[in-house]
């Protein structure tokens, strides 16, 4: 599924496929186990196409399908990735995949017929944002597949972990109420880049803060600022 930022990535020659599930526990199944209070309140679930009831219902059904018919779900994921690869080849583009569009699941454990999906497509770049410090540390230690890139997501309750990630050379993503100012001034001594230019986080320079502007409703933004999730 495309979005404004994935379309920007197409201008750079990348064709991106993103899986959108129903976030948090909206479907009855938790898919964001490390979410903070602020993240939950400021969630972009209903922004963009997510504002449509039909889209929300489809994502809920997809999440239930993932949990209740996992083998069949993974079969379809593999077929969708193969389809994206073929389309990218036809259009002379580079395929890349983000399986946590609105979730935070350990996709390195996703399997089809006993094989990890990431291993089935070694030449395809997979990438995600995560709030799991354990997974991010594993990535920095080289414990995840080489075709998978992670960016740690800052929340109001994981700033200590975020600074640790930065000190270890990793990248973090942070939402700013005034992104232009953050890019000019930096944040706590670290460089802030404009991560709104595209969604291809694996192209970012290292040891930086990937600055994002808030894209939800004004009410959600104020909730995010109040909780400390959106940096004011």
User: Which tokens in the block code for residue 150?
Assistant: 């992670």
> CA quadruple 5, 7, 9, 15: dihedral positive or negative?
positive
| 60-91 burial code (b ≥16 CB/10 A, e <16) | bebbbebeeeeeebbeebbeebeebbeebeee
> CA quadruple 100, 103, 106, 110: dihedral positive or negative?
negative
The predicted structure's pLDDT at residue 5: 64
The predicted structure's pLDDT at residue 222: 78
Q: Are the C-beta atoms of 212 and 24 separated by less than 8 Å?
A: no
Helix spans in 111-157 (H): 117-120, 133-140
User: Which tokens in the block code for residue 227?
Assistant: 């909780």
- Quick check: 160 pLDDT over 80? yes
Mean pLDDT of 170-179: 96
| Distances, alpha carbon 175 to alpha carbons 30, 142, 147, 195, in Å | 23, 27, 26, 10
Choose the weakest-confidence range: 43-52, 82-91, 174-183, 223-232: 43-52
- Quick check: 117 pLDDT over 60? yes
In sequence order, which residues have a C-beta less than 8 Å from that of residue 70 and are 6 or more positions away?
Answer: none
Range of the domain at 141: 4-231
Degrees, nearest 5: CA angle 218-35-199:
65
How far from each other are the two terminal CA atoms of the chain, in whole angstroms?
31
Mean pLDDT of the chain, nearest integer: 92
Number of domains in the chain: 1
Mean pLDDT of 42-57: 68
32-36 own/partner pairs: CB under 8 Å, 24+ apart: 32/103, 32/104, 32/131, 33/104, 33/132, 34/104, 34/130, 34/131, 34/132, 34/133, 34/158, 35/104, 35/131, 35/155, 36/131, 36/155, 36/156, 36/157, 36/158, 36/227, 36/229
- Quick check: 218 pLDDT over 70? yes
Mean pLDDT of 198-213: 97
The predicted structure's pLDDT at residue 44: 66
Beta-carbon count within 10 A of 174 CB: 23
The predicted structure's pLDDT at residue 56: 87
Backbone angles phi, psi at 175, to 5 degrees: -95, 125
Question: What is the rounded CA–CA span in Å between residue 138 and residue 179?
Answer: 29
The predicted structure's pLDDT at residue 226: 81
The predicted structure's pLDDT at residue 76: 97
Strand partners, 11: none
pTM (two decimals):
0.92
Mean pLDDT of 115-137: 98
């Amino acid at each position: 599924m495309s979005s404004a930022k994935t379309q920007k990535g197409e201008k750079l020659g990348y064709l991106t496929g993103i899986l959108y599930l129903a976030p948090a526990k909206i479907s009855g199944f938790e898919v964001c186990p490390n979410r903070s209070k602020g993240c939950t309140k400021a969630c972009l679930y209903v922004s963009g196409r997510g504002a449509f009831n039909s889209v929300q219902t489809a994502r809920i059904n997809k999440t239930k399908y993932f949990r209740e018919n996992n083998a069949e779900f993974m079969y379809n994921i593999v077929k969708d990735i193969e389809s994206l690869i073929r389309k990218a080849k036809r259009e002379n583009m580079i395929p890349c995949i983000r399986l946590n569009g609105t979730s935070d699941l350990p996709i390195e454990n996703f399997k089809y017929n006993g094989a990890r999906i990431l291993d089935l497509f070694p030449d395809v770049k997979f990438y995600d944002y995560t709030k799991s410090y354990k997974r991010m540390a594993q990535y920095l230690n080289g414990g995840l597949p080489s075709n998978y890139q992670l960016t740690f997501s800052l929340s109001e309750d994981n700033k200590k972990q975020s600074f640790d990630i930065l000190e270890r050379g990793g990248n973090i993503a942070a939402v700013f109420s005034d992104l232009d100012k953050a890019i000019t001034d930096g944040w706590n001594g670290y460089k802030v880049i404009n991560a709104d230019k595209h969604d291809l986080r694996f192209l970012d320079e290292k040891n930086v803060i990937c600055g994002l502007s808030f894209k939800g409703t004004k009410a959600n933004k104020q909730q995010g600022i109040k909780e400390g999730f959106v940096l004011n």
